[in-house]
Amino acid sequence: MTRLRLRRTMAAFVALVAVAAMGGCGGSGSDAGGDALDAPGAEVLEKATGKTTIEFWHSMKGPNAQAVDQLVADFNAQSGGKVEVKAVFQGSYDETIAKYKASVQQKSTPALVQIYDIGTRFMVDSKQVVPVHKFVEKDAFNAADIEPNIASYYSIDGKLWSMPFNSSTPLLYLNKEAFERAGLDPTKPPRNLTEIGELAKKLTVKDASGKTVQYGFGAAIYGWLLEQLLATDGKEYCDHGNGRTGLASKVQFDQETAVGVAQWWTDLVKGGYATNTGRKTDDAQAAFKAGTVAMHLESTSVLRGYVDAAKGKFTVLTAPYPKVGSSSAGGPIIGGASLWIGGVGHSAQEKRAAWEFVKFASSPAAQAKWHTGTGYVPINAKALEEQIDKDWMAKFPQFRTAVDQLHALPPSVASAGCLLGVMPQARKASEDGLEAAIVGSKPAEQAMKDAAASVQGAIDSYNKSVG
């Protein structure tokens, strides 16, 4: 209660200060009316006197944050003193979007913000941003090098709204030595959930006292993994063509495929072949890194950390993300986060400066550095031809899987991912459902149905407020 009050009070103060500040400078920096969402040309920066400084909000931590800082420093150095980007870490993706919402109310949005894939629909509906395709048209920018599978997530009616920045794909991780000890061939990884289920039984090891020392399978109860599995089965996560032909009005993670996944997972945990480490991805990662889990699902973005952690203990292998069944023909969703250019409340110079940085960040050279520094897949296909990238792939062949997977399939509606204004809440609800099934408090079908129903109110009220 006090905490909440305190936050409110603080928000109120910030709002007061913001109002005072705006009153003071009489709308100097902001352009009113319809042109707030237009894309200015390169001339606005050439004509500008002095330096244009913009804020860039991001959610990258650890080595990834260092890569962001390096990217920003490189950009500032080559901008010839015309533009300065200031990178500001805003916490997790969830926290960043929450702060962004507050900044819209306070009319102090950043010129550039990194938002996760599932915030895409909200960003479009916010009516605060300049769609990237306007800049692409203005500059006749060659967008063909942007990986089509990645761009499709951030496109509506074929038009790119934000520039993909860090993209990851899910992978199946294997402990090579665990396979060998069980007399299995690690070069023949399981291709679907049924096969994982069978292998998990062979890969579960108990000691003399009956205590399990190695589980066949283990992954975090993470809604993203379910979204990916549905996509590999060619199923849409929400209605209206994954929210791409119109505003999605309901989620579909209570469909047969999803219930099947929940049931499969529950059976493995119940049978003692999978460990349930809960929702925290950190805990599931720790179990795999400790060698107590033989097969594991995670994003490519943790591969580098796994390779380092397993050094001297076991060999980390990667395989394409499993499909649901042997007849599944889809591919995973290429998610991650993208860069959004602020329009409302920003001068032409600021908008242009943000676009200049976006262009720089998506160039082959920058993406090659980004790829090798973080483990995210490059969003620019040409990055793979850069020398540093080639050297790196030779050193860590495990990274090849993600890139191959990215190129394996043409974009489809299912693998474009669901656009839904309240997608973060939908993901959380799907985790509620999975968890209720896995811990045995509800049958799988009931659990997924209840979970899907629980997010309906939020979808309706969102659609009402933007409709």
Partner 1 sequence: MLLLPSVVVFALFVFWPLGRTLYLSVHGNDIFGAPSAYVGADHYREMLSADFGRVLATTALFTLFSVLPAVAGALVVVLLLEARIRGVRVLRTAFALPFAFSVATASVIFAVIYNPAIGVANGLLGAFGIDRVNWLTDPSIALPAVCAATVWMNFGYNILVLSAGVAAIPPEVVEAARLDGATGWRLASRITVPLLSPQLFFLVVVSTIHALQSFGQIHILTKGGPDQATTTLVYSIYEKAFAFGSADFGAASAQAVVLLVIMLACTAVQFGILERRVHYR
Q: Indicate the pairing of strand 293-299 with strand 212-218.
A: parallel
Q: Which stretch binds partner 1 (CB under 8 A): 196-204, 343-351, 385-393, 416-424?
A: 416-424
Asked if 271 interacts with partner 1 (CB under 8 A), we say no
Q: Find, among 316, 16, 360, the residue nearest to 172 by Cα.
A: 316
Closer of 352 and 442 to partner 1 (Cβ):
442
Structure-token pair, residue 39 = 């894309």
Q: Find, among 38, 416, 126, 123, the residue nearest to 245 by Cα.
A: 416
Neighbours of 174 (CB within 10 A): 25
Element (H, E) at 335: strand 335-342
Q: Which stretch binds partner 1 (CB under 8 A): 57-65, 79-87, 274-282, 294-302?
A: 274-282
Q: Find, among 292, 272, 242, the residue nearest to 118 by Cα.
A: 242
Asked if 165 interacts with partner 1 (CB under 8 A), we say no
How far apart CA 264 and CA 268 sit, in angstroms, is: 6
- Please pick, from the candidates 64, 90, 292, 398, the single residue that binds partner 1 as defined by CB under 8 A: 292
Asked if 42 interacts with partner 1 (CB under 8 A), we say no
Asked if 441 interacts with partner 1 (CB under 8 A), we say yes
Q: How far is the CB of 424 from partner 1 (least distance, A)?
A: 4
- Please pick, from the candidates 37, 102, 205, 384, the single residue that binds partner 1 as defined by CB under 8 A: 102
Q: How far is the CB of 158 from partner 1 (least distance, A)?
A: 25
Asked if 188 interacts with partner 1 (CB under 8 A), we say no
- Restricted to residues 110-139, the positions that interact with partner 1 (CB under 8 A) are 118-119, 122, 125-126
Structure-token pair, residue 25 = 């400078």
Ordered alpha helix ranges (H), 290-422:
303-310, 348-361, 364-374, 387-395, 400-408, 413-416
Structure-token pair, residue 225 = 């993994």
Closer of 8 and 407 to partner 1 (Cβ):
8
Asked if 283 interacts with partner 1 (CB under 8 A), we say yes
Neighbours of 308 (CB within 10 A): 10
In this structure, are residues 202 and 329 in contact, taking their beta carbons and an 8 Å threshold? no
Number of residues that bind partner 1 (CB under 8 A): 54
Q: Find, among 228, 180, 250, 155, the residue nearest to 457 by Cα.
A: 250
Binding site for partner 1 (CB under 8 A): 1-5, 8-9, 12, 94, 97-98, 101-102, 104-105, 118-119, 122, 125-126, 209-212, 275-280, 283, 286-287, 290, 292, 421-425, 427-428, 432, 435-436, 439, 441, 454, 457-458, 461-462, 465-466
